[in-house]
Structure 1
């Protein structure tokens, strides 16, 4: 590996800020707001500097004195070109202050404190310069979100467009949503159309969003005063009754990230998010992004949604990631996808903030984001996080029939036995530190590198994943099931469950069942109880088969270390990974203990209740609210555990304008070890002398072995976690330190770049500080209202 060290001049507006590379043409987040116009420099009286100013070309011998930055320095021995700085290795000794105060009281530019809407801006959310964004319409002072129904954490349910009942299967309409138990509803899905605009095929006759109706269904009557029918008509009506519940339009998803379904149901391979955000030559498609962002604003205004949820699966540089139908266009753009995603997030933030200021209501921007360490390795340091109000981590689909490794859909913790990770030597490769990365707890800690805990929500599945013909394992857990008829694009796959064990089956492009063991949880509960549901025929299962042939015996199992339940049918060797009240209660307690923002679930129609009148009066499980009620009851009552402190980093009282960024990432498949370049740019007017110390936090999603390859001695000085993560990571952050060499200084506008190396993906970093002349400074990107050193 190369060991590079670069020192370059850069303009004060150049570089990257807060760990995030700026997109061309972007103003820094600390661009002065109107309230900052009265900023002024404050100096305290001190003796004038009588000694000559230090000069880099002059030779000094022991005992000679110079003045430098309002301080008197004395040479300890012969020196030339060494910037005056403190430290045993420095040839200079600080004598005292002259002309500008004391070392602990440097000249600072005072910044007026935030007022008005700025008091409600969520912590670390990117600002749109020059715009008075009405944050206080959605957030409280201090940045906590105003949540509906008395909940103290977010409860976000996805509502799908296709469960209309028109195909004979059970319907799930807006009238079925437990509006009094939720804080947010995401409508799934809109798509990116061929003109790079947000669409739900709303002009097509009979489309479910705006032109469908359900005559005779109580609670689903259309409001004729609205200019549209369909789901949106019902959502608008119920939103009037529950105005605190926020509704967002979710764009993309697995099937419509790289294309879309037209009005006839045919999939159009348009390129979707991939083509809208990036060009074939690897450049950002800003024209496409602008068209989409403008259409999103128009869409929100037309239909009354409170925001946009981006479900881009996935802007990763890992080859063959995402839907195989998208690989042709996605693989050619892998090196540009993260850059395009950041530009998309930044542009949407700008357009939504400007629209919010005009409309006097706040528009949220959120994202559904991956949980797998494999996918995240190809998403650099997830530089776009700062633009989202919050992210919803898809901490499910961590195991499924796309490969042969039989395991939990959504384990809370690692147990050190994950068969997929063991296969690829993750537990035995020393650099990984024994950390397993296919679990909810790991993915939460990954996102803590770039976001406060309050802006991260964890996903739970209201559905199952499963395999048939499972061999080995403990009642199937960590066994294998190798498939022979793989879906399009997959050379190898698992032997996914089918038939009655795959009730919510997807269809491939040929209309054939995709094996995967996908069932609503209410069906899984009936399998557990040995019941053949009365609804089977509507899903294509012959209900006349003998009950033992149809269902068989499903034994419920629970692994407390994983916090994961599953059903095991020994006679059929079928394994179905489930989610139920026991596992969800354990996750809710974990969310409280870690002060996580809340929970998101896919999807509302998968929840269950026991219905005693159904199935000819014998009773059965069917669509209900048991799991959602559990979450609401947990989060509407006082927390039973003490929430972990949000941050444990120092709290400086002043700031300095120094920028940091990670860049130069290799494509994901070649990105091991992860070996980007850390660039530090001095945007202040103060020279940073040799010995200046920079500290920052990296999340414990990566072991505490981050280092540099440039001779700067970058190292972890405080480990938040060590060893494996069985039962969860113990702390949120590893604290990192790196110092300028004693012989090197950074003048105004200069930057230094060093190679760093780590072994599991991180977001961020964050919580930067600069140690200068015995004082610790925050950086202005993270602390825009602190007085700052010029």
Structure 2
């Protein structure tokens, strides 16, 4: 249904079929010889391109492009609004000696009555011109609604195109052959940070997952919209009996700040919905649960309760215009007490049991069935995915061999594999196993896997199709303190600080312990720096550590200044992972940079994986210190910015022309 319309002096001349339609984002390309058209006519083109978000969905998107002097602009149908049949006078057109053409100029219509060169405008003061003003009776007969455009474009009267505000449709860029799925965290707007969806590079990602949607008891039967009602946070998960009589429902975490209607200074959900509308090719997906909101998954999946929860999930994505659900149950069968030092609203998973392998399987199967049914009713395809930990111990209990067919993609969180919860330094995300790693000390239970070993394990053991797996890329660091050269020397002299044991006891009850200072830490401390701060250290600049959220837990390292000139940058060639080490202060940071993410992206391509999932878009480096007073004051005018690692992934995953030509030949068969 894609067409190219040719206009001469604003009048429709002919309609051509488009001869090129791109693979998965939709574009059109025609080579049209201009010599076939009269040289004294103004020549313009309008593309009408119809395509879908995804091969599986029937959700069609139609976009109009208007070509003016070689520049492609976006246009939109008039939506039923009647436009004047006569265009505005155009100073770039030489109307010549032709007569009879009517144009609109400064509130009146004029008929061309003599030679008119470029810039020869109609006159309204009675002076002679190549134009004659229409009489009052003629003006009345036109019944002009007052809407005009430079080119009258359309296939019939009153079917013109009007210029589209670029805020209406964006993201019409190069197709991506692989997925880059990322999260936009609602709490990115809190405290000293002012990151909301309008800042993200939506033209360089494929899926934007809303993090996170609560999985909580449904006390009201409605989605939470009262900013003063925090009953869903104050109820204790530890106090709830197994198979609680309460129904469980998805809900927005912080509605008071998420919706502009409730007075939030940073209307997060409002911006999210607006950006989804502007970029219809990015799939908006609701991520349910997360680290602090997974306690009630086991209740939601109980017999007799699961149907209610699943229907509420369907209601939720319909309500908020999502195209799918991502289950972030962290983690089935894994018991964890709430960490109230780091997050006073953390629910933990204090009632987790081994039966959750089956509950998780039942939940995924019920969601898949319900999403398919809803898709049939709504005429579109709804996606289902999950994000799961990459540790081998968890995988053995996950039941993935049964439920993986329900998923469109499975995201292994191949980050946080190591951190200050371990006694020895290591990489938190690494592509290959370094043969120098002393595994008996660093990985005594064989739980940690390199990405390469992980993919081999799940595909050969459980038959998970490799082309539905995404692997993780962290846009942040984890770090240790108390790392000094041992008497026996470094494990490998070329990688000082790596695989070294801390001389500090891990922290308890809010003490900082062996964690490195992190600008995004609270309570326990974890050595979390966003990429922008890591790059400042690499450049030799200092980073000041402070408590960002004044209503949250105090940063145990607040007041620390990290001296950039004291840090050295190192790259582990065997593992394909970078790190920073300050030998003077004994501080070690493991993170991801342009080099490692480019290698990881190429490995994904070479091994036919689905793509990469990143955590999270707000911690990518977009050239602004989002924790500074400058960022806070700049927020109202701060809009889309380029993001460093996102751009690296996009450059690797975007479709190349040879591949597109092949895909399009297949599409035309």
Q: Please name the residue that 2:298 is paired with.
A: 274
1:237 paired residue number: 274
Structure-2 separation of matches of 1:322 and 1:595: 39
1:365 Cα deviation after fit: 0.8
Q: Which residue is equivalent to 1:607?
A: 620
Q: Secondary structure at the match of 1:514?
A: coil
Kindly state the Cα deviation for residue 587 of structure 1 after the two structures are TM-superposed. 0.4
Aligned partners of 2:625, 2:417: CA distance in 1, in Å? 34
Aligned to 1:475: 496
Among 308, 311, 316, the alignment partner of 2:325 is: 308
Measured against aligned partners, the alpha-carbon deviations of 1:693-748 in whole angstroms (never above 9, x if no partner) come to xxxxxxxxxxxxxxxxxxxxxxxxxxxxxxxxxxxxxxxxxxxxxxxxxxxxxxxx
Match of 2:360 in 1: 341
The reply on whether 1:212 has 2:228 as its aligned counterpart is no
2:323·2:383 contact (CA, 8 Å) conserved in 1? yes
Is structure 2 residue 653 aligned with structure 1 residue 635? Answer: yes
Summarize the Cα distance change of 1:162–1:554 in structure 2 as closer, same or farther, 3 Å threshold.
same
Secondary structure of 2:566's aligned partner: coil
Three-state SS of the structure 1 residue aligned to 2:227 is coil
- For residue 160 of structure 1, the aligned residue among 154, 161, 185 is 185
Structure 1 contact 400–466 (Cα < 8 Å) conserved: yes
How far apart are the structure 2 equivalents of 1:614 and 1:423?
34
Give secondary structure in 2 for the equivalent of 1:630: helix
Relative distance call for 1:497 and 1:340 in structure 2 (3 A) is same
Identify unmatched segments of 5+ residues in structure 2.
1-23, 25-50, 62-170, 230-251, 341-346, 631-637, 660-669
Q: How far apart are 1:534 and its partner, in Å? A: 7.5
Alpha carbons 1:209, 1:230 under 8 Å: kept: no
Q: How far does the alpha carbon of each residue in 1:285-331 deviate from its partner, in whole angstroms, 9 at most, with x for none?
A: 12222121111001111111111110011113x6669979645311x
Deviation at residue 194 of structure 1 after TM alignment: 1.5
2:288 and 2:326 in contact (8 A); partners too: yes
Higher helix share: 2
The aligned counterpart of 1:442 is 453
Q: Retained in 1: the 8 A contact 2:189–2:196?
A: yes
Secondary structure of residue in 1 paired with 2:327: strand
| Alpha-carbon distance in 2 for matches of 1:381, 1:614 | 40
**Counterparts in 2 of 1:301 and 1:409: CA distance versus 1, 3 Å:** same
- Is 2:551 the counterpart of 1:517? no
1:455 aligns with 2:455: no
- 3-state SS, counterpart of residue 285 of structure 2: strand
Check 1:494–1:396 CA distance in 2 against 1; reply closer, same or farther (3 A cut): farther
What per-residue deviation string (whole Å, max 9, x for no partner) do you get for residues 651-688 of structure 1? xxxxxxxxxxxxxxxxxxxxxxxxxxxxxxxxxxxxxx
C-alpha separation in 2, matches of 1:543 and 1:624: 30
Partner of 2:387: 368
Q: Are residues 576 and 246 of structure 1, via their aligned partners in 2, closer, same or farther at CA, if it must alter by over 3 Å?
A: same
The one of 282, 297, 304 equivalent to 1:287 is 304
**Change over 3 Å in CA distance of 1:337–1:287 after alignment to 2:** same
Q: 1:200: Cα distance to partner?
A: 7.2
SS in 2 for 1:274: helix
Q: Is the 8 A contact 2:388 2:411 kept in 1?
A: yes
CA deviations over 1:112-167 (Å, ceiling 9, x no partner):
xxxxxxxx9xxxxxxxxxxxxxxx96542799x999841111111100011224x2
- Take 1:578 and 1:311, find their aligned partners in 2: how far apart are those partners? 22
Number of equivalenced pairs: 448
Whether 1:140 and 2:55 are equivalent positions in the alignment is: yes
Change (3 A) 1:417 1:158: same
Give 3-state SS (helix, strand or coil) of 1:365's partner. Answer: strand
Deviations 1:24-51 (A, max 9, x none): xxxxxxxxxxxxxxxxxxxxxxxxxxxx
Partner of 2:31: none
Task: Show the counterpart of 1:566.
Answer: 579
Q: 1:200 to 1:398 in 2, by over 3 A?
A: farther
Cα distance in 1, alignment partners of residues 509 and 454 from structure 2 = 29
Q: CA deviation at 1:238?
A: 1.5
Greater relative CO, 1 or 2 (CA 8 Å, sep 6+) = 1
2:271 maps to 1:254: no
Give the CA deviation at 1:523.
Answer: 1.1
Equivalent residue of 1:348, what SS?
helix
CA distance in 1, matches of 2:643, 2:276: 19
Q: Are positions 1:183 and 2:206 aligned together?
A: yes
1:387-786 aligned within 5 A: 387-422=406-441, 437-448=448-459, 449-471=462-484, 472=486, 473=490, 474-481=495-502, 483-487=504-508, 495-498=513-516, 501-506=517-522, 513-533=523-543, 538=548, 553-610=566-623, 625-638=643-656
Whether the 8 Å CA contact 1:408–1:564 is kept in 2: the answer is yes
CA distance in 2, matches of 1:558, 1:233: 41
C-alpha distance in structure 1 between counterparts of 2:471 and 2:206, whole Å = 14
Q: Aligned equivalents of 1:425 and 1:612: distance in 2?
A: 39
Pair 424,599 (structure 1): closer, same or farther in 2 beyond 3 Å: closer
The CA deviation at 1:379 is 2.4
CA distance in 2, matches of 1:212, 1:445: 43
| 1:30-69 matches, cutoff 5 A | none
Deviation at 1:381, TM superposition (A): 4.8
Partners of 2:56 and 2:315 lie apart in 1 by 29
Residue 502 of structure 1: how far off its partner (Å) = 1.2
CA distance in 2, matches of 1:613, 1:345: 37
1:421 shift after superposition: 4.7
Report the CA distance shift for 1:198/1:593 in structure 2 as closer, same or farther (over 3 A): farther
How far residue 371 of structure 1 moved from its aligned partner, in angstroms, is 0.9
Q: Write the distance in 2 (CA, Å) between the matches of 1:197 and 1:483.
A: 48
Distance change >3 Å, CA 200–CA 552, structure 1 → 2: farther
Distance 2:413 2:228 in 1: 33
Counterpart position of 1:78 = none
Q: Distance in 1 between matches of 2:362 and 2:543?
A: 48
Alignment partner of 1:359 is 2:274:
no
- C-alpha distance in structure 1 between counterparts of 2:350 and 2:253, whole Å: 30
Counterpart residue number, 2:242? none
Q: Matched residues in 2 for 1:139 and 1:159: separation?
A: 21
Superposed displacement of residue 546, structure 1: 9.6
* Cα distance in 1, alignment partners of residues 524 and 467 from structure 2: 37
2:196: which partner in 1? Answer: 173
The offset of 1:637, in angstroms, is: 3.9
* 8 Å CA contact 1:160, 1:189 repeated in 2: yes
> Counterparts of 1:369 and 1:297 in 2: how far apart (Å)?
22
| TM-score, structure 1 as length reference | 0.51
Query: Which TM-score applies when normalising by structure 2?
Result: 0.59
Change (3 A) 1:408 1:542: closer
Cα distance in 1 between the residues matched to 2:437 and 2:472: 20
For residues 395-421 of structure 1, give each alpha carbon's deviation from its aligned partner in whole angstroms, at most 9, with x where no partner exists: 111101122121001011111333455
Deviations 1:625-644 (A, max 9, x none): 01001111111143999xxx
